[in-house]
Amino acid sequence: MTKKSAVGSDRARQVLAQEAARIIVEQGIADFRVAKTKAAERLGMSTQGVLPNNSEIEAAISNHLLLFGGESHIDLLQNLRRSAIAAMEVLSQFEPRLVGPVLQGTAGANTTINLHVFTDTPERVAFRFDELVLSYKPFERRLKSRRDQVETYAGFRFLQDDWTVEATVFPVDGMRQAPISPVDGRPMKRADQSSVERLL
């Protein structure tokens, strides 16, 4: 590859990352691969060879929010984190941890609050919602473990202060090893309630 074509390829990746970031923030798309494909289609670019990686897109999301979000983004992030804390209090007996964009600071107006909770029987989480007469919907999430295996986990979706919260249920010993982040391939960062409170 010549120096000129390498520069052109880098520029194409940057433009695609910026467009994918805009799509993620404005449309609330959580799947980076879908956002990349949409960005390539919108820009009339090939999806072969020039697609940015997920870390580049996450950096572009941060830049987008910094440029276009300003004070309103800071307010949004604080509101999401306060609601995350309230949701963590609801599920406190399951030692919840906040993960994802609300923790990382890359959340937009359509972002879901993501929690990891820990119990050896997911039904206990459902019983907790029933006790509180709190409406919820079950779901399943597939996540990659450190052993490079994909595992399926039960989860529960509910509303907290009009924000959607998704609580994925891990076995108690799952607290020691976080699943692999689809963004950077490292164990997901998790924060307990006191750590989230310190972010406010």
Percent of the chain scoring above 70 in pLDDT? 93
Instruction: Pick the closest to residue 160 from 75, 80, 97 (CA basis).
Output: 80
Half-sphere exposure of 23 (CA within 13 A, CB side): 22
Q: What is the CATH number of domain 71-199?
A: 3.30.460.10
**pLDDT tens column, 31-89:** 888 888 888 888 888 766 667 888 888 888 888 887 777 778 889 999 999 999 999 99
Cβ neighbors of 173 (< 8 A, separation 6 or more) are none
Token pair, residue 5, equals 């074509």
Condensed to tens digits (0 to 9), the pLDDT of residues 141-163 reads 999 887 678 999 999 999 999 99
Between 13 and 5, name the one with better pLDDT. Answer: 13
CA–CA distance, 66 with 88 (Å, rounded to integer): 27
User: Can you name the residues that pair with 158 across neighbouring β-strands?
Assistant: 165
User: Residue 89 corresponds to which tokens in the numbers above?
Assistant: 């209090």
For residue 196, what pLDDT is reported?
A: 96
* pLDDT tops 50 at residue 4: no
Backbone angles phi, psi at 164, to 5 degrees: -80, 130
> Which residues partner with 187 through β-bridges?
180
Q: Are 35 and 22 in contact (CB under 8 A)?
A: no
* Cross-strand pairs, 118: 170
Residue with tokens 């697609």: 51
Mean pLDDT of the chain: 88
The Cα-based distances of 104 to 6, 33, 37, 101, 146 in angstroms read 31, 19, 24, 5, 21
Domain limits of the chain?
A: 3-68, 71-199
Confidence of residue 184 (pLDDT cuts 50, 70, 90): confident
For residues 100-122, average pLDDT = 92
Portion of the chain with pLDDT greater than 90, in percent: 48
pLDDT at residue 98, rounded to an integer:
98
Nearest CA to 156 out of 112, 101, 108 is that of 112
Contact 114, 98 (CB under 8 A): yes
Q: Residue type at 63?
A: N
DSSP 152-168: EEEEEEEEETTEEEEEE
